[in-house]
Amino acid sequence: MAGSALRRLIAEYKQLTNNPPDGILAGPLSDENFFEWEALITGPSGTSFEYGVFVTRLHFPSDYPLSPPKMKFMSEIFHPNVYPDGRVCISILHAPGDDPM
Cβ proximity of 68 and 97 under 8 Å:
no
Active site residue 33: no
Neighbours of 40 (CB within 10 A): 14
Catalytic residue among 38, 89, 93, 94: 89
Residue-by-residue DSSP string for 1-20: -HHHHHHHHHHHHHHHHHSP
Cβ neighbours for 44, distance < 8 A, ≥ 6 positions apart: 23, 50
Q: Active-site residues: which are they?
A: 89
